Chains A and B, each alone.
Chain A
Amino acid sequence: MKSSVITFPGSNCDRDMDVALKKFGFKNKMVWHADAELPKSDLVVLPGGFSYGDYLRCGSMASKSKIMQSVINFANSGGMVMGICNGFQILVETGLVPGVLLRNKYLEFICKNVFVKINDKKNKYFKNVDNEVLEFHIAHNEGNYFCTNDQLKEIEDNNQIAINYCDKNGKIEDQFNPNGSLKNIAGIFNKEKNVLGMMPHPERMIDTSLSGEDGSLFFKNLINNLK
């Protein structure tokens, strides 16, 4: 399986993503934001970080960079595109997934483990994951998902919510919401579910010495689903 990770100026989880993808069998290429063409890929990842220093609005400048037109075309033709953290912020700025990401409710950066409940498994990202709940890791300042009532209705009707913040038993309640996200939303799909944006970083949970191993589970499953 071939993957591409885009490096924007200010990306800082690009290497971590490269390490994770390779560990689970992807042949990964790093792609510079100023390039025009995407290499042939089965998966394109927009990594975490602070593209363009979060200036103007998180993700907004990166969403206009040269490579993004190719990424958008790739997504619109059904290609798998995953945005993690700042990558999710870039995705909402391109409009590939609906909504916006506001500043965290308590106005503070949060770095910690959280639990997320998988809401939908009829997609290539979470199909065949046995667990209902995964332990993931977040590190962000602007992860507070928000959208209009109409958008929310559409998202819910289409089952576009990918994961919600919850407790270890899968209970989705306000007290388990780390950043004030609407409906505890931690990640969403586009309508076709080939594009996923999520705040948690699965690439930081890929061996027992790190924060946990549910990231390994996610990537192993992902590559199998793509085969």
Chain B
Amino acid sequence: MIVNEQVAVDHGLKKDEYAKICELLKRTPNITELGIFSAMWNEHCSYKSSRLHLKKLPTKGKKVIQGPGENAGVIDIEDNDAIVFKIESHNHPSFIEPYQGAATGVGGIMRDVFTMGARPIANLNSIHFGSPQHKKTKNLLRGVVHGIGGYGNCMGVPTIAGQTSFDSSYNGNILVNAMTLGLVKKDKIFYSKAAGLNKPVIYVGSKTGRDGIHGASMASASFDEKIEEKKPTVQVGDPFTEKLLLEACLELMAGDSIIAIQDMGAAGLTSSSIEMASKGNLGIEINLNKVPCRETKMTPYEIMLSESQERMLIVLENGNEEQAKKIFDKWNLDFAVIGKTTKSKKIELYFDEEKVADIPVNTLVENSPMYDRKWKKAKLPKKNKIKKEDIKHLKIIDVLKKILTNPNVCSKEWIWQQYDHTVMGDTIQKPGGDAGVVRVHGTDKAVAASVDSSAVYCWAHPLTGGKQVVCESFRNLISVGAKPIAITNCLNFGSPENEENMGEFVECVQGIGEASEYLKFPVVSGNVSFYNQTKDEGIKPTPAIGGVGLIKNYKNMITMDFKEIDNLVLIIGKTEGHIDQSLFARNILDEKNGPPPEVNLFNEKNNGETLLKLIDNNLIKSAHDVSLGGIITAVAKMCIKGKKGINIKKPKYLINEIEYFFAEDQSRYIIEINKKDFKKVADILHKNAVHFDELGTINKNELYINDKTKVTIDELSTSNKSWLTNYMSK
């Protein structure tokens, strides 16, 4: 095939990018080379629109062992233990083929983690669908949940937490973000940097097929009406092979023969080999005839661009090939020496004794395009004033019941019951709480993780929204008694070529940066997904934040269920009555304008750290952060979980009841304490200048407000649990 500008454009490259390739090579690339460039220079692999802005994120900290740039981030959890973690998107494929798209998303992120030598110990996910009324939503949701379960369950890794939301902006572009945590010894972490000359380059895992060719390019473009035709670009997963690959890799890693290892994810053999060469400042030579293929007559172009799953590339110390092969034979996996490291600093590919590609590595990596895209700064919207006549007819209990059945608040049990969340025998906090918690096997330590996003806030004001998501993650970890350590982010946005979408990206990243800097909650890994867009319609900006924290003694973990009758319930943090962009405003008043709640980073840090002090002093019986739906929703969930009621007395505030109960002011927690501890708790809160209100007392099974209105917890529980089950069984 003759390569020209049109062929390059068909590969998703821009005309000037093609000109740059010809200039760098000082010739016209052949088709295999063009394929390689298109795979490396697309948005998904090159981060060409985002790199400039991602550089501003804080990535360092006392506990950070490895920040962004490797397969995953690594943090120190003491005693020579470390946690490897990352979140990644698989949005585009999941919309085209929900089961395989979601399954391979989970498989891909687990591979990123065990590539570094860590055994995966927990999975999480953040999934977002269109309006429940949209004709595709139900099938997409079912397919994605089955896909996530199908892969994670088979791998034997518990799925311990997640987030699901519905919003019409995802009608044409759902989001599927998968996160994995792995456990590794600090001195046994593996990296992707190749080193040494003439070292064997080894291919292990599944055979290469024609699936997923150009998957990364597909994920770097908007959708249109012909999207169904893209089905062949979706990879097909085989969790069984991945389980074998995991065990085989960990077995090989127990020795010291590996110099570098990299999984074949997006852009397959192309990006894995180039990444290893680039990091090691070396060249790699590959004989493509040696690559194990599943199908006959595969061309070099297809072999290099296939995104077949469950494959790894390893640079081995010379002389260890036989020993390593034995391990992969035992697990019935392919093992092939396909090339070697060279000093050429080039990628040189041979096929049928002919050289089919010859590209300097730096042209693919350092010289890849980087754009300073135009972007528009968002204005802070004007506040709405709630009119008395709009709310005077509303009864708090009725509104609460409505909110509890809202698709974004209702119980997601239908989803997480389909995920094995207890395998490995260390899950001590299951899905449905503020964060999932797993013990570090055989120790007193536990790791907490949560994944959060607040697309509505980010859409209303990206800078505030960006900050808020990081704070929410911080809060969720603290609510279970964990000290927050670091985050990973999955940045889901529309087209970077649209100034408004690009502005949303830039300002959300700025917000994330500011909050993570202030809270000492650095970003150690992440992924950007642009072009979540169908024709001109983009999603609401949805940065998802995966937070990880440590509980030193798992017996001190906190859960959100109310524990004991007559215990006292307090709210930490001040309630100002911010209603704009709250679930109440958007769904009950149908008011979609206005700014999101303000984020005060000082209060966030101070309130959170003070709560951790209370937990350290064994003064907290249960805790839950206040988020969607405000105080009353948070309290109702604690009642439902604990099968207990509460007598609420609204404090004498200037704001009215509706504002008090449904406002979504930030940095607040509900806590349960024993009455006899009140003075101790109050002293600690006062000493640390943390505002708190007394909210009420726990009772047997009813929610009372000011001794007047009441509802049974059973009734609230039924409303909360039934929506999703009913929706899916209709």
Contacts and interface: CB of A to CB of B under 8 A. Distances in A.
A210 B417 contact: no
B421 A111 contact: yes
Given A10-B243, A50-B243, A53-B240, A204 B425 contact: yes
Interface in B529-572: 554-555
B238 A211 contact: no
Contacts of B428: 209-210
Given A53-B239, A55-B240, A209-B554, A12 B423 contact: yes
B456 to A, nearest CB: 30
B227 interface: no
B154 interface: yes
B512 interface: no
Contact of B154 (A15, A54, A112): A54
Contacts of A112: 417
A15 B416 CA distance: 23
A203 B244 CA distance: 23
Given A10-B154, A50-B239, A109-B149, A16 B425 contact: yes
B439 A109 contact: no
Contacts of A10: 154, 240, 243-244
A50 B153 CA distance: 9
Nearest to B333: A9
B134 to A, nearest CB: 22
Interface string A32-66: 00000000000000001110111100000000000
A9 B244 contact: yes
Given A12-B156, A111-B419, 7 more contacts: A9-B243, A50-B240, A50-B243, A53-B154, A110-B418, A111-B417, A206-B425
A210 B427 contact: yes
Contacts of B422: 111, 137, 139, 201, 204, 210-211
A50 B425 contact: no
Nearest to B728: A108
Interface string A4-28: 0000011011011001100000000
Given A12-B423, A210-B427, A50 B154 contact: yes
Interface in B328-345: 331-332
A204 B332 CA distance: 29
26 contacts: A9-B243, A10-B154, A10-B244, A13-B156, A16-B424, A20-B425, A49-B156, A50-B153, A50-B243, A52-B240, A53-B154, A54-B154, A108-B417, A109-B149, A109-B418, A109-B420, A110-B417, A111-B153, A111-B417, A111-B418, A111-B420, A139-B420, A209-B555, A210-B422, A210-B428, A211-B422
Contact of B439 (A50, A203, A209): A209
A139 B422 CA distance: 8
Interface of B: 146, 149-150, 153-156, 238-241, 243-244, 331-332, 416-425, 427-428, 439, 554-555
A49 B554 CA distance: 27
The range of chain A's interface size is: 20 to 34
* The 6 residue pairs across chains A and B that have the minimum distance between CB atoms: A12-B156, A53-B240, A16-B425, A50-B154, A209-B428, A139-B420
A203 B423 CA distance: 9
Contacts of B423: 12-13, 16, 48, 139, 204
Nearest to B424: A16
A15 B428 CA distance: 18
Nearest to B428: A209
Interface of A: 9-10, 12-13, 15-16, 19-20, 48-50, 52-55, 108-112, 137, 139, 141, 201, 203-204, 206, 209-211
A86 to B, nearest CB: 10
A221 B209 CA distance: 52
A220 B428 CA distance: 22
B431 to A, nearest CB: 10
A138 to B, nearest CB: 10
- Max chain A C-beta neighbours (<10 A), residue from B153, B155, B331, B428: B153
Given A54-B154, A139-B420, A204-B422, A12 B243 contact: yes
A139 B155 CA distance: 13
A83 B725 CA distance: 32
Contacts of B418: 108-111
A203 B419 CA distance: 18
A50 B416 CA distance: 19
Contacts of B421: 111
A52 B427 CA distance: 25
B555 A9 contact: no
- Max chain B C-beta neighbours (<10 A), residue from A9, A19, A52, A110: A9
Contacts of A108: 146, 417-418
B451 to A, nearest CB: 19
A54 B154 CA distance: 9
A201 B422 CA distance: 10
Nearest to A108: B418
B425 A53 contact: no
A12 B155 CA distance: 7
Contacts of A210: 422, 425, 427-428
A139 B331 contact: no
A52 B331 CA distance: 11
Contacts of B555: 209
Contacts of A52: 240
A224 B149 CA distance: 37
Nearest to A49: B156
Nearest to A204: B422
A19 B154 CA distance: 20
A108 B145 CA distance: 10
Contacts of A204: 422-423, 425
Contacts of A206: 425
A13 B156 CA distance: 7
A210 B241 CA distance: 29
